[in-house]
Amino acid sequence: MEEIRLSHQNPSNIDEWELTWDKLMIKGEELGSGAFGQVLQGKLIESEKTKTGKLIEEKEDVAIKILQRYTNEISERNFLNEIQAMKLINGHKNIVKMIGCITVGDRICLVLEFCPYRDLLQYSKTKQTELLTFLETAEHIKKEFLIFAWQISNGMQYLASEGIIHRDLAARNILINEFKIAKISDFGLSVQINDKHKNSPTNNILQIETGKLPVKWLAIESLKNYEFSLQSDIWAFGIVFFEMYSFGETPFAEIENSQLLKHLEDGNRLEKPELCPNEM
């Protein structure tokens, strides 16, 4: 396995995805944040002249993921990795759509489609509130969650067909658009398998030691031997089920990260949330 890489300082990497800051307008509302920086709501400004010479501006709602100026090397590498990964997989209905990027200069950003319902983790928590206040029925929520599960699996199947291992599949990284379609996002830790490297062990010890991998979502082989595969993504998919049907509970919340491997090797697993159908 090898990581997808992009050097933002190399002019040869400039392509049709490259935007300029004058094409973006930041509205200021924060949609999310992390070690990389912030995700802000904004607009993409596109200008077009009519036949009469009149200039028309169209503004599209977007999410602007901005790398903070003084980030560490690992966060910057993961951010650039995400940009390149998005270029390779853009276009599937259950993968968040990339609009463009800025990789030249000291302010690097990734521009994505705007998903007004935010992420699945927060969405699931709101559903619990609606259930408790009788604004929503359990049966309707179960049906909606089942549709999300199918959509996520559809997106993961596409990634598998492209030889891409996500490695950070979690409810926080599933976005819900205006049509309530689930879209997989956040490809900073993704790796791609090819014939030359598919049998080679991955080398991500540094990222694990610095807390860059989501421990509670990792499969046993990932925790034990740093091995990642399509199967380890399936494990994480199961954790997403738990998050969704438990209305956003943290998986293995009572277990310390350092004790999780032993906990799993002893045969312990997450309990099925009450809302989750038995068939799943």
| Residue 79 neighbours by CB under 8 Å, 6+ apart | 36, 37, 65, 67, 71, 108, 110, 188
> Does 10 appear as a known binding residue?
no
Q: What is the DSSP letter of 110?
A: E
The one-letter amino acid code at 255 reads: I
Q: Can you tell me the distance from the alpha carbon of 203 to that of 235, in angstroms, rounded to the nearest whole number?
A: 20
Q: Can you tell me the distance from the alpha carbon of 270 to that of 280, in angstroms, rounded to the nearest whole number?
A: 13
Note the residue count of the chain.
280
- Residue 273: CB atoms within 10 Å: 15
> Does 186 appear as a known binding residue?
yes
Spot the catalytic one: 168, 195, 233, 266.
168
Q: Cβ(212)–Cβ(104) under 8 Å?
A: no
Three-state DSSP class for residue 239: helix
Catalytic residue at 168? Answer: yes
Annotated binding site for Mg(2+): 173, 186
What are the residue numbers of the active site? 168
Annotated binding site: 172-173, 186
